[in-house]
Amino acid sequence: MKYTEFMEKNSFDLVDLLALAYGRIVDDPPQGFDARLPTPPLLMMDRILSVTKDKNKGSIVAEQDIRLDAWYFQCHMPGDPVQPGCLCVDAVWQLLGFYCAWRGAVGTGRALGCGEVLFNGQIRPYNKIARYEIAVKRYSHLKESGVSIVIGDADIFVDGELIMVMKEARTGVFKGISYPDYPMRSLNSIGGMIRQDHE
């Protein structure tokens, strides 16, 4: 699809999400467009049902199909399988990074933290669907640095029951930090503080 189509589209299926993960969702990406999602098994959603914007706010609703043979049920924990809660946290960060790209952020997404995470339940092997409902509280693009930041609150449901709340989740998009020449040693092959001063 064209970049303008991507930014106007408000729902995305698994093929779209995988295309973004592999850097192939748009045929004419703008310079510096390094948006990615993780590939399976770390991709934590199967579809984005809706994504909206209203000035500097918006929303995202996405779902993940729960699979009996999911990799995490095989190791967390033997004899007591449960999806790690940290994967739900990561799903919210993934979705917020997607939101930045969809809003026009150019660069590479990184999780920046969250204010509070509350668990009321769990995801087990015979559950069917996890649902992520995120209220985007603020999206900002800082023109002088090119950095984009999104902040949102998320409710996570499994089969219609609220099992988790995440407050003030934050993700940012930064230019010039991607590492596309992995595994070769290069400018971005070592982590640490995020800096854009080498562009």
Here the tokens at position 100 are 């930045």
- What pLDDT does 199 receive? 46
pLDDT above 70 covers what percent of the chain? 98
Overall pTM > 0.85: yes
Q: Give per-residue pLDDT as tens, 90-142.
A: 999 999 999 999 999 999 999 999 999 999 999 999 999 999 999 999 999 99
Q: Does pLDDT of 143 surpass 90?
A: no
Catalytic sites, residue numbers = 76
- pLDDT tens, position by position, 30-79: 999 999 999 999 999 999 999 999 999 999 999 999 999 999 999 999 99
Sort strands 116-119 and 161-174 into parallel, antiparallel or unpaired. Answer: antiparallel
Report DSSP letters for the chain, one per residue. Answer: --HHHHHH---B-HHHHHHHHTT-S-SSPPTT-----PPTTT---SEEEEEEEETTEEEEEEEEE--TT-HHHHHSSTTS----HHHHHHHHHHHHHHHHHHTT--SEEEEEE-SEEEE-----TT--EEEEEEEEEEEEEETTTTEEEEEEEEEEEETTEEEEEEEEEEEEEETT---TTTTS--TTSS-SS---TT-
Asked if residue 29 lies in contact with residue 104, where contact means CB atoms within 8 angstroms, the answer is no
Q: How many Å apart are CA 185 and CA 151, to the nearest integer?
A: 33
For domain 3-174, the question of CATH label 3.90.1170.50 is answered with no
pLDDT of residue 193: 86
